[in-house]
Amino acid sequence: MSKNIKIYINNKLYLAQKDQTILDVALKNKIEIPHLCKHPDLDIKGNCRTCIVEVKGLGLVTSCSTEVTEGMQVKTESPAVKRARKMNLELIFAAHIEKCETCVYSDNCLILKYAEKYDLNISHFEDRKKNYPIWQFGDAIQFDASKCIDCRNCVEVCKLRQTCDFYEIADRNIETVVKPKGSPNVGTGLDLSNSVDALGNDINKFDCTYCGQCIVHCPVGAISGVPHWQQVNKLLEGKSAKGGSASGGKVLVAQIAPSIRVSIGEEFNQPPGKIVTGQLAASIKKVGFDYAFDVNMGADLTTYEEARELVHWLTSGKKRPMFTSCCPAWVKFVEFNYPEFISHLTSTNSPIMCSGPVLKTYFADYLKKDPRDIVNVMIAPCTAKKHEAGLAKHTIDLGWCIERLDLPNVACICKDRSKLKGVRVPAVDYVLTTREYAHLLHRHKIDLPKLKPIELDKPLGTYSGAAAIYGASGGVMESALRSADYFLRVLDETGSLDSILKGENYQLKKKKYSNISQSRIKFEEVRGQQGIKSAQVKVGGRQLKVAIANGLGNARKILEDLKAGKVKYDYVEVMACPGGCIGGGGQPVPTNATIRASRAAALYNIDENLPIRTAHENPSVLEIYQKYFHGEECLIEDVLHSKFKTQNREGYTVV
């Protein structure tokens, strides 16, 4: 334990720990000092120089990198500090072209707040990045180099935390250029011939996974998800212009992912972890969608299938471990970097890709609508989902659906069936990040916390506690273990899983099947925010060795240890973002360990308070298995599973 020392900030005494910085102590005591490049997840770089303070005997120093000493006297608002801070912030604006009209950060922009607070002349220095390009990584991430203030947070998080190393820095005197690895010199006017990759790295070994961690660590919104909000806004505005009938006859559906209900409140000055499910449902209706559904229902479908697959894995002698695959950034990481592990990924679709196809078939039939007239908008914490939604394998073949699935109404509406074979409909049309959806609400002047909560729509709004915890690290695994424990008991007692395939519920026959109904709910050993967790868990009477990786750097460690034979696991969960989707690349900024912990605690709270805690008890899930799949394994395989394959570098383009 570090010794307490005394320091004075603005003549007032504060107690501090020896290894704290001035900024740590100030923030802890709610003394505001502007700071941009300092992020608690990352090493201190001292690049932006906005956190300048004056220390007696030392002069002006950066408070994020200066540790406190006994008796230190700090001034945060002296005339010298004010002058230097003003100039440093104005220089920041010279490196950052304001594009506030289209920027989803504009409602919550740190540098605009500083500009107002410190009375900056943001045009004092000439914009020096006027012609810098906007890079696009695959179809998911945009990096606007004309907004970059060169703090290097993105470079660090991508290289050291995610081990993807997709950015490089080219330094030219006082000018720095951050750019995707191996990219040419476009519009910068600088000679970049000595950039890192010109020095010999094989750029084909580096690619973006679309995890978005560079986004949530960028202090000025220079990186973002490829925007979908404008297209969605157009549909919504089209709808209201036509006096209430859906735009072009379309039915607009929004689905909320598990973790956004505990994070979006932050965009409206609510504390992290504030649960706003009912207000979210109300906001979806108020902004103009026809239906508000819950991806949690899709998460229960994922769990049901993944648990069935895990049981198969455990009882068939298949090579272990089985890896989760509901995080598309992790899947891309494996497909690109570790193709030898592709066969270890569960083929079960992610929650949005389970609920999407069900919406475009089952729900279309229920509504008596052509699936092409339903627009499915996901509100997700994730930028990689934008990529996942665009994958050809996640489109559904209309002709096949009508031929194979029990969709009498859709079949009746889509009369000319012969022409429908090969007509493919995306399961998910648009993905809005938490930030994008909040921006949409701000534009429509909808104040989320003030809305009267309403229920999500049925039938795709019913979910279990197992789905609620999907957003926290360990949650996907815990959900699957809850159902796997039950399925293994069914298997041991009845000798087969055929009844599970048909959506039978043994919980309703508690007396007769007492051994089955004693199945386990809580698996606390897989919870928590540590980078790598491993545990021995008892599931259906079997001992399993499991591991959970938080972030791609930790996933790489597990994969390398597996390759080297240093560890053995039966089941491994990987989520690309620290803390899981609660720390996703589409979440509100700032996101840090304290905020992630509050969001995760709220998800476990939702779980604890739900009457149904397991996917296999969700009546909507069981109904889909009973009425829709009729126990046909091949149908389930086609609708809820997909295949993975080796990926080449997708790289970047200039927008």
The distance of closest approach from Cβ of residue 322 to ligand FES in the complex, given in angstroms and rounded to an integer, is 43
The distance of closest approach from Cβ of residue 275 to ligand SF4 in the complex, given in angstroms and rounded to an integer, is 19
Q: Out of ligand SF4, ligand FES, none, which partner does residue 51 contact, by CB within 5 to 8 A per kind?
A: ligand FES
Q: Out of ligand FES, ligand SF4, none, which partner does residue 214 contact, by CB within 5 to 8 A per kind?
A: ligand SF4
Nearer to ligand SF4, 161 or 616 (CB): 161
- Per CB under 6 A, the list member of 14, 25, 61, 62 interacting with ligand FES is 62
Is the bond into 426 cis (omega within 30 degrees of 0)? no
527: amino acid identity, one letter: R
Nearest to 165 by CA among 585, 553, 551, 648: 553
Nearest to 25 by CA among 77, 82, 68, 70: 68
Task: Please tell me whether residue 61 binds ligand FES under the rule CB under 6 A.
Answer: no
Q: Out of ligand FES, ligand SF4, none, which partner does residue 49 contact, by CB within 5 to 8 A per kind?
A: ligand FES
Q: Out of ligand SF4, ligand FES, none, which partner does residue 440 contact, by CB within 5 to 8 A per kind?
A: none
- Per CB under 6 A, the list member of 35, 96, 239, 274 interacting with ligand FES is 35
Nearer to ligand FES, 23 or 480 (CB): 23
Distance between CA 599 and CA 582 in Å, rounded? 6
The distance of closest approach from Cβ of residue 44 to ligand FES in the complex, given in angstroms and rounded to an integer, is 7
Distance between CA 133 and CA 188 in Å, rounded? 8
Nearer to ligand FES, 118 or 366 (CB): 118
Nearer to ligand FES, 37 or 148 (CB): 37
Nearer to ligand SF4, 104 or 577 (CB): 577
Task: Please tell me whether residue 276 binds ligand FES under the rule CB under 6 A.
Answer: no
Nearer to ligand FES, 44 or 635 (CB): 44
Number of residues that bind ligand FES (CB under 6 A): 12
Contact region with ligand FES (CB under 6 A), list: 29-37, 142-150, 267-275, 304-312: 29-37
Distance between CA 402 and CA 126 in Å, rounded? 61
Count of alpha carbons within 13 angstroms of residue 478, beta-carbon side: 25
Closest residue to ligand SF4: CB criterion? 584
95: amino acid identity, one letter: A
Residues 550, 542: contact at Cβ < 8 Å? no
Q: How far is CA 405 from CA 54, 155, 354, 402, 410, in A?
A: 71, 48, 15, 6, 10
Residues that bind ligand SF4 (CB under 6 A): 137, 141, 148-154, 157-158, 162, 164, 166, 178, 208-214, 217-218, 220, 222-223, 327, 329, 381-382, 384-385, 575-577, 580-581, 584-585
φ and ψ of 579, to 5 deg: 85, 0
365: amino acid identity, one letter: D
Q: How far is CA 1 from CA 15, 17, 27, 55, in A?
A: 14, 9, 21, 26
**Other CB atoms closer than 10 Å to residue 343's CB: what's the count?**
11
Neighbouring residues of 269: CB distance < 8 A, sequence distance ≥ 6: 449
Bridge partners of 13? 8
Task: Please tell me whether residue 76 binds ligand FES under the rule CB under 6 A.
Answer: no
Q: Out of ligand SF4, ligand FES, none, which partner does residue 378 contact, by CB within 5 to 8 A per kind?
A: none
Contact region with ligand FES (CB under 6 A), list: 42-50, 265-273, 366-374, 647-655: 42-50
Contact region with ligand FES (CB under 6 A), list: 31-39, 359-367, 424-432, 492-500: 31-39
Nearer to ligand FES, 150 or 305 (CB): 150
Q: Out of ligand FES, ligand SF4, none, which partner does residue 50 contact, by CB within 5 to 8 A per kind?
A: ligand FES
Strands 571-575 and 542-550: parallel
**Other CB atoms closer than 10 Å to residue 171's CB: what's the count?**
13
Contact region with ligand FES (CB under 6 A), list: 30-38, 208-216, 371-379, 390-398: 30-38
The distance of closest approach from Cβ of residue 387 to ligand SF4 in the complex, given in angstroms and rounded to an integer, is 10
Nearer to ligand SF4, 229 or 652 (CB): 652
Nearer to ligand FES, 37 or 89 (CB): 37
Distance between CA 404 and CA 454 in Å, rounded? 36
Task: Please tell me whether residue 51 binds ligand FES under the rule CB under 6 A.
Answer: yes
Q: Out of ligand FES, ligand SF4, none, which partner does residue 446 contact, by CB within 5 to 8 A per kind?
A: none
Distance between CA 156 and CA 568 in Å, rounded? 30
Helix or strand or coil: residue 75? strand
Q: Out of ligand FES, ligand SF4, none, which partner does residue 651 contact, by CB within 5 to 8 A per kind?
A: none
Measured between its terminal Cα atoms, the distance across the chain in Å is 52
Task: Please tell me whether residue 46 binds ligand FES under the rule CB under 6 A.
Answer: yes
Say which residue the tokens 């997709």 belong to.
166
Q: Which two tokens stand for residue 320?
A: 């272990």
Nearer to ligand FES, 62 or 591 (CB): 62
The distance of closest approach from Cβ of residue 37 to ligand FES in the complex, given in angstroms and rounded to an integer, is 3
Task: Please tell me whether residue 255 binds ligand FES under the rule CB under 6 A.
Answer: no
Neighbouring residues of 160: CB distance < 8 A, sequence distance ≥ 6: 43, 553
DSSP secondary structure, 601-632, as one string: HHHHHHHHT-S--SGGG-HHHHHHIIIIITT-
Task: Please tell me whether residue 49 binds ligand FES under the rule CB under 6 A.
Answer: yes
Contacting residues toward ligand FES, per CB under 6 A: 35-38, 46-51, 62, 64
